[in-house]
């Protein structure tokens, strides 16, 4: 981890003393960057209590990077919020803390204490209940407790069908419910930010980015990411065709199961029992981008919670999931 | 689980090269318009499939879905299923909202807004069109140019799209006939000739089989124009054209981290800027020069339309969110009166005279439509008379804002000529507007300063002026209480005047009836008269049913804070019907009067009135006393 810690410190230094780019961003990335910055500034100007969801993954980290850029020389005028499921990869927590400290940002870490007390365990209770209690319920608790009127999320429209229809400024009623049939028309870059007491808006500044855009931007703008995205020898168990990494002692192996060291990496990050690894040799960002160009499997395929049925993400979103 | 393999080093250079070139032509946004049957979703599915944007697992899901929901043949992929996002829609077999899709080729990144062809969803198409550089208008080769083709063409043009592609689809079903293609093209050009597209490009295609999409069709060797993809890769974007406009940057946010730095953050909507350039804050007319263009990648020596920057100026001038920074030598219009095209997007109709919120860039101000000049029929392109706008109707209107706003005509620059209207109660976006031209220059209209002021007039009378606005059902007791209040005020030497149906409806407003449009205008005029009385220093009582919250709020906002006192005279409908002092309920029951409030026309009760009088449980005199006490408590009278 010392490697990544050094990398994060030198990354943070560039916001204190910005240097001109040596090579221009690709034109389409420059356009996406400008659009995201525009969206973030609208939120900062129009809401009283915005917050930025930070999930530690690559999309979130790009979103945070854009926020650092949008408000420089000021700091982003809102806190970060991490909904900690207690089952994330250990490397994620370390990365989060190092990044927040180096950038001098406030990060609120929220745990659904009721779920902690009930000892919700994805291995025992299954992915659906775990996600509902630790992620969705935890998120709603945190948003209510903070009385946030706007919450940034790192969702992209290319991730999943129901996201493709969601607005950039997505209205939620006082119970945090999304009504896909009653969305506000969203024209030009003129966002309707008006809400009543208790209502809120979820804001998706990365709506128009694709997974490849994200990776190419991380490469071109040198953004640090959690080392789990890079290939490395890691202990994994194959379950139902998915490689699960044994990240801590809470994972009990079935009789006959043994953890094998394999060279793997992760295309998305979340709770380790629910996140499948892929075998890969991609050790650098360039490798990852090249792998992306030839990859034939979409990233959500690594997320076990989407597999039950095609409409499952839309259901979760209506219930308040990001 | 699918293992992925890093390509061999020989391929690396080629792939990385391809990647860096992928975005060299930037981003092109386009919309596809057509009905469910024109093969619109199939076309987008085909674009995603042929540009190799689909992953194996997505194809697997698609194949599975094709078997369950698909309408294509046995063992054929139904590309349309990729696009229909939400469960319910998939079951109905139609797309009902705007969905965005992404793909890229070696030259460009593309964002596609998939918008529905159903009539009732005009607003969705306008939404998709508002950010699009180009529109693909799909025509079924068997059916030719239809009413909906005209509609899509009209909306695309109205929303400022400069490039139209007429994709004549299902050519395979008309034997790839060149004659049929040319027949449809000439029909279409007749439709589009009076509109403002820069380019119109007809292309014969078959989305289902991929003809003339990515590859030139062997079936239609006679086609000498570009393939769809060749055209999409080469057409000029709006952002590139905006850079040729005069400089414009609406200020989003003032960046002031400490006393040493003050910058104005925004996205450049038009033109170019460099340090040393003179800019003007359009609304105030104050000028300054640009000292620095600050970004997180260091200061820039120039910037142009599409970039998000922070400008530092060489001197301190008062600028805040909503101001527009502009080229000092080519300034935008600044006006509180302008003409615009409005697309109405809400179930509740647009009523001239009602107050909405207008949002243009960071500018937010109350606004009302002063005149609906005419409606536009999107099917025939003809002007039609109208008094209000219903959902999905388009009107040319004159608007009046409370504060002057800075803008450019929409046809010159979309970003600074566009606005939305927001309903002040539901907070919904109810309309999209495109400004045509300014009706006057606000700076030329100077209020004539009076030497005897409102304060002076009130002082002479020893009172503070106010509006006592009595609202409630007919027969609730409004006029009775107002009359008693006026008597009590006169008895203590206060100057008053009463406005009610008797002295307004028979004179000033005798041209108005009782439709919703007329009720709004009725209250607007009463509000203006009341304002004049308040200006004269008088305590004015107004007794009107005034059933709509929006209009009562409009009158409230005409007054200074504290001057408007809303008195809700509240009696149950049954009691009012029983009292029926003017015999109106009897007539309404007999069908002799239409649109009678409480009977066949709604009454929206006040939510937070200054005074709530329940007249079923109190005498009129006690109610009047409460009003007097309220005036004393508020310091209106001593």
Q: CA-to-CA distance for A320 and A151, rounded, in angstroms?
A: 12
Q: Does the beta-carbon distance from A158 to B57 stay under 8 Å? A: no
Q: Does the beta-carbon distance from A20 to B267 stay under 8 Å? A: no
Residue B30's Cα: distance from chain center in Å?
A: 20
Q: Does A261 touch chain B (CB under 8 A)?
A: no
Q: Does the beta-carbon distance from B2 to A45 stay under 8 Å? A: no
* B405 chain-A contacts, CB cut-off 8 A: none
Which of A38, A196, A294 shows the shortest C-beta gap to B427? A196
A7: part of which helix (H) or strand (E)?
helix A2-16
pLDDT for A218: 94
Which residue carries 């004393």 as its tokens? B632
> Hey, what are A175's tokens?
């119970």
Asked if pLDDT for residue B504 goes beyond 80, the answer is: yes
Q: Does B56 touch chain A (CB under 8 A)?
A: yes
B59: part of which helix (H) or strand (E)?
helix B56-69
CA dihedral for B170, B173, B175, B179, sign (positive or negative): negative
pLDDT in tens, A133-169: 888 899 999 999 999 999 999 999 888 767 777 889 9
Closest residue, chain A, to B48 (C-alpha): A158
Closest residue, chain B, to A313 (C-alpha): B86
Q: CA-to-CA distance for B6 and A293, rounded, in angstroms?
A: 10
pLDDT in tens, B441-487: 554 444 445 567 888 888 778 788 999 999 999 889 999 999 999 99
Which of A20, A26, A243 shows the shortest C-beta gap to B297? A20
Asked if pLDDT for residue B6 goes beyond 50, the answer is: no
3-state secondary structure of B4: coil
Q: Give chain A's radius of gyration (CA, Å).
A: 19
Q: Give chain B's radius of gyration (CA, Å).
A: 31
pLDDT for B123: 82
- Percent of chain B at pLDDT exceeding 70: 86
Strand order in the sheet with A80-83: A107-110, A80-83, A50-53, A150-152, A200-203, A169-172
Q: What is the mean pLDDT of residues B142-160?
A: 90
Q: CA-to-CA distance for B438 and B337, rounded, in angstroms?
A: 6
Asked if pLDDT for residue B40 goes beyond 90, the answer is: no
Q: Does the beta-carbon distance from B362 to A27 stay under 8 Å? A: no
Which residue carries 């608790």 as its tokens? A141
Asked if pLDDT for residue A1 goes beyond 50, the answer is: no
Q: Does A88 touch chain B (CB under 8 A)?
A: no
Other Cβ atoms within 10 Å of B260 Cβ, number:
7
* B127 chain-A contacts, CB cut-off 8 A: 185-187
Cβ(B52)–Cβ(B256) under 8 Å? Answer: no
CA trace torsion A313, A318, A322, B2 (10° rounding): 0
Q: What is the mean pLDDT of residues A8-33?
A: 89
pLDDT for B444: 43
pLDDT for B441: 55
pLDDT in tens, B89-142: 544 544 457 778 888 887 888 999 887 656 556 888 888 899 999 999 999 999
Q: CA-to-CA distance for B346 and B336, rounded, in angstroms?
A: 24
pLDDT in tens, A197-225: 889 999 999 999 988 899 999 999 999 99
Query: For residue B240, which of B324, B163, B340, B137 has the smallest C-alpha distance?
Result: B163
Closest residue, chain B, to A66 (C-alpha): B296
**DSSP states of A250-269:** T-PPPTT---EEEEEE-SS-
Interface of B with A in 165-194 (CB under 8 A): none
Question: Closest approach of chain B CAs to the CA of A119, in angstroms?
Answer: 30
pLDDT for A121: 87
Which of B58, B100, B419 shows the shortest C-beta gap to A298? B58
Question: Closest approach of chain A CAs to the CA of B20, in angstroms?
Answer: 7
Cβ(A125)–Cβ(A116) under 8 Å? Answer: no
Q: Which of A14, A22, A28, A262 to mutate to test the interface with B (most CBs of B within 10 A)?
A: A28
pLDDT for A319: 66
Question: Closest approach of chain A CAs to the CA of B14, in angstroms?
Answer: 10
B491: part of which helix (H) or strand (E)?
helix B478-491
pLDDT in tens, B383-400: 998 889 999 899 999 999
Q: In terms of DSSP bridges, do strands B134-140 and B27-33 run parallel, antiparallel, or are they unpaired? A: parallel
pLDDT for B18: 64
- Number of helices followed by number of strands (H, E) in chain B: 18, 27
pLDDT for B122: 80
Q: CA-to-CA distance for B428 and B357, rounded, in angstroms?
A: 10
Alpha-helix residue ranges (DSSP H) falling in B173-288: 178-192, 228-234, 238-242
pLDDT in tens, B336-350: 999 999 999 998 999
pLDDT in tens, B309-326: 999 999 999 999 999 999
Q: Which of A179, A185, A186, A197 to mutate to test the interface with B (most CBs of B within 10 A)?
A: A185
Which of A29, A34, A294 shows the shortest C-beta gap to B23? A29
Asked if pLDDT for residue B62 goes beyond 90, the answer is: no
pLDDT for B106: 78
| Inter-chain CB pairs, A–B, below 8 Å | 222
Which of B104, B418, B428 shows the shortest C-beta gap to A188? B418
B343 beta partners:
B394, B432
* A68 chain-B contacts, CB cut-off 8 A: 296
pLDDT for B11: 63
Secondary structure E strands in B251-346: 253-258, 261-267, 272-273, 278-281, 286-294, 303-304, 308-313, 324-327, 333-344
Cβ(B168)–Cβ(B204) under 8 Å? Answer: yes
Least-confidence region, from A70-74, B56-60, B252-256: B56-60
Which of B100, B256, B297 shows the shortest C-beta gap to A157? B100
pLDDT in tens, B405-448: 999 999 999 999 999 999 988 899 999 999 999 987 554 444 44
Question: Closest approach of chain B CAs to the CA of A117, in angstroms?
Answer: 35
Q: Does A74 touch chain B (CB under 8 A)?
A: yes
pTM metric for this prediction? 0.80
Which residue carries 């890093």 as its tokens? B6
B539: part of which helix (H) or strand (E)?
strand B539-543
Q: Does the beta-carbon distance from A19 to B361 stay under 8 Å? A: no
| Better pLDDT: A176 or A314 | A176
Q: Does B607 touch chain A (CB under 8 A)?
A: no
Question: Closest approach of chain B CAs to the CA of A28, in angstroms?
Answer: 4
- Percent of chain A at pLDDT exceeding 70: 90
pLDDT in tens, A221-275: 999 999 999 999 999 998 888 888 988 888 888 888 888 999 999 988 988 888 8
Q: Does the beta-carbon distance from A157 to B102 stay under 8 Å? A: yes
Which of A41, A195, A286 shows the shortest C-beta gap to B16? A286
pLDDT for A295: 64
| Better pLDDT: B293 or A308 | B293
* B18 chain-A contacts, CB cut-off 8 A: 293
* B427 chain-A contacts, CB cut-off 8 A: 192, 194-196
Query: For residue A156, which of A216, A211, A221 has the smallest C-alpha distance?
Result: A211
Residues of B annotated as part of the active site: 546
Question: Closest approach of chain A CAs to the CA of B624, in angstroms?
Answer: 35
Q: Does A194 touch chain B (CB under 8 A)?
A: yes
């Amino acid at each position: 981890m010392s490697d990544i810690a050094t990398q994060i410190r030198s990354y943070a230094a560039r916001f204190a003393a910005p240097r001109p780019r040596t090579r221009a961003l690709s034109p389409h990335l420059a356009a996406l960057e400008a659009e995201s910055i525009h969206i973030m500034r609208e939120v900062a100007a129009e809401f009283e209590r915005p917050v930025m969801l930070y999930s530690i993954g690559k999309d979130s980290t790009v979103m945070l990077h854009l926020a650092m850029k949008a408000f420089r020389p000021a700091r982003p005028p809102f806190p970060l919020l991490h909904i900690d499921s207690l089952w994330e990869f250990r490397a994620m927590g370390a990365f989060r803390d190092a990044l927040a400290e180096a950038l001098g940002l406030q990060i609120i870490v929220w745990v659904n204490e009721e779920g902690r007390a009930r000892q919700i365990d994805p291995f025992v209770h299954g992915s659906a209940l775990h996600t509902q209690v630790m992620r969705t319920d935890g998120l709603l608790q945190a948003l209510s407790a903070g009385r946030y009127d706007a919450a940034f999320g790192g969702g992209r429209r290319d991730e999943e069908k129901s996201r493709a229809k969601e607005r950039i400024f997505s209205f939620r009623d006082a119970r945090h419910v999304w009504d896909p049939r009653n969305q506000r028309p969203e024209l030009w870059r003129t966002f309707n930010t008006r809400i009543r007491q208790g209502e809120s808006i979820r804001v998706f500044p990365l709506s128009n980015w694709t997974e490849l855009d994200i990776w190419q931007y991380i490469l071109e703008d040198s953004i640090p990411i959690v080392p789990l995205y890079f290939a490395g020898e890691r202990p994994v168990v194959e379950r139902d065709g998915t490689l699960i990494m044994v990240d801590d002692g809470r994972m009990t192996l079935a009789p006959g199961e043994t953890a094998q060291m394999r060279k793997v990496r992760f295309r998305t990050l979340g709770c380790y029992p629910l996140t499948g690894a892929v075998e890969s040799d991609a050790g650098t960002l360039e490798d990852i981008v090249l792998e992306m160009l030839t990859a034939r499997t979409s990233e959500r395929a690594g997320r076990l919670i989407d597999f039950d049925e095609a409409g499952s993400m839309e259901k979760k979103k209506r219930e308040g999931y990001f | 689980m699918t293992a992925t393999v890093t390509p061999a080093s020989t391929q690396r250079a080629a792939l990385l090269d391809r990647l860096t070139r992928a975005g060299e032509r930037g981003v092109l946004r386009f919309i596809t318009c057509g009905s469910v049957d024109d093969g619109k979703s199939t076309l987008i599915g085909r674009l995603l499939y042929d540009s190799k944007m689909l992953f194996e697992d997505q194809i697997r899901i698609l194949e599975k879905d094709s078997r369950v929901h698909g309408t294509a043949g046995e063992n054929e992929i139904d590309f349309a299923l990729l696009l229909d996002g939400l469960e319910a829609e998939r079951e109905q077999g139609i797309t009902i909202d705007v969905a965005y899709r992404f793909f890229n080729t070696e030259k460009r990144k593309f964002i596609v807004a998939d918008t529905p062809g159903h009539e009732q969803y005009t607003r969705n198409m306008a939404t998709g069109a508002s950010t699009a550089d180009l529109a693909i208008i799909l025509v079924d080769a068997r059916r030719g140019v239809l009413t909906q083709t005209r509609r899509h063409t009209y909306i695309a043009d109205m929303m400022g799209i400069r490039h139209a592609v007429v994709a004549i689809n299902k050519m395979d079903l008309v034997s790839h006939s060149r004659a049929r293609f040319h027949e449809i093209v000439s029909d279409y050009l007749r439709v589009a000739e009076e509109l403002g597209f820069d380019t119109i490009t007809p292309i014969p295609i078959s989305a289902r089989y991929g003809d003339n999409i990515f590859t030139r069709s062997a079936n239609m060797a006679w086609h000498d124009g570009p393939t769809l993809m060749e055209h999409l890769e080469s057409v000029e974007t709006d952002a590139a054209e905006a850079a040729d406009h005069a400089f414009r940057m609406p200020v989003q946010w003032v960046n002031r981290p400490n006393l040493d730095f003050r910058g104005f953050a925004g996205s450049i909507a038009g033109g170019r800027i460099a340090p040393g350039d003179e800019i003007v804050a359009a609304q105030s007319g104050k000028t300054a020069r640009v000292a620095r263009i600050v970004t997180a990648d260091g200061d820039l020596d120039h910037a142009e339309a599409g970039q998000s920057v922070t400008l530092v100026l060489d001197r301190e001038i008062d600028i805040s969110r909503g101001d527009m920074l502009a080229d000092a030598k080519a300034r935008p219009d600044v006006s509180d009166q302008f003409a615009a095209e409005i697309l109405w997007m809400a179930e509740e109709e647009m009523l001239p005279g009602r107050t909405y919120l207008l949002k243009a860039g960071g500018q937010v101000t109350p606004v009302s439509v002063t005149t609906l000049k005419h409606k536009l029929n999107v099917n025939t392109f003809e002007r039609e008379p109208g008094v209000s706008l219903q959902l999905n109707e388009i009107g040319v209107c004159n608007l009046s804002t409370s504060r002057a706003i800075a803008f450019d005509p929409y046809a010159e620059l979309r970003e600074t000529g566009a606005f939305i209207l927001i309903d002040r109660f539901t907070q919904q976006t109810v309309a999209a507007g495109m400004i045509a031209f300014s009706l006057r220059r606000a700076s030329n209209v100077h209020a004539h300063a009076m030497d005897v002021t409102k304060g002076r007039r009130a002082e002479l009378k020893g009172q503070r002026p106010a509006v006592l606005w009595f609202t409630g059902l007919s027969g609730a007791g409004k006029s009775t209480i107002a009359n008693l209040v006026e008597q009590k005020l006169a008895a203590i030497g206060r100057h008053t005047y009463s406005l009610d149906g008797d002295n307004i409806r028979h004179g000033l407003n005798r041209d108005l009836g009782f439709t919703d449009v007329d009720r709004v205008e009725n209250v607007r005029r009463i509000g203006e008269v009341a304002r004049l009385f308040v200006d004269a220093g008088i305590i004015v009582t107004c007794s009107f049913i005034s059933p709509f919250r929006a209009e009562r709020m409009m009158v409230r906002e005409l007054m200074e804070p504290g001057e408007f006192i809303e008195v809700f005279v509240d009696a149950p409908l049954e009691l009012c019907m029983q009292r029926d002092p003017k015999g109106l309920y009897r007539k309404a029951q007999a069908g002799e009067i239409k649109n009678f409030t409480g009977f066949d026309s709604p009454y929206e009760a006040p939510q937070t009135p200054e005074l709530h009088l329940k007249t079923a449980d109190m005498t009129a005199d006690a109610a009047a006393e409460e009003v007097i006490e309220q005036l004393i408590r508020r310091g209106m009278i001593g």
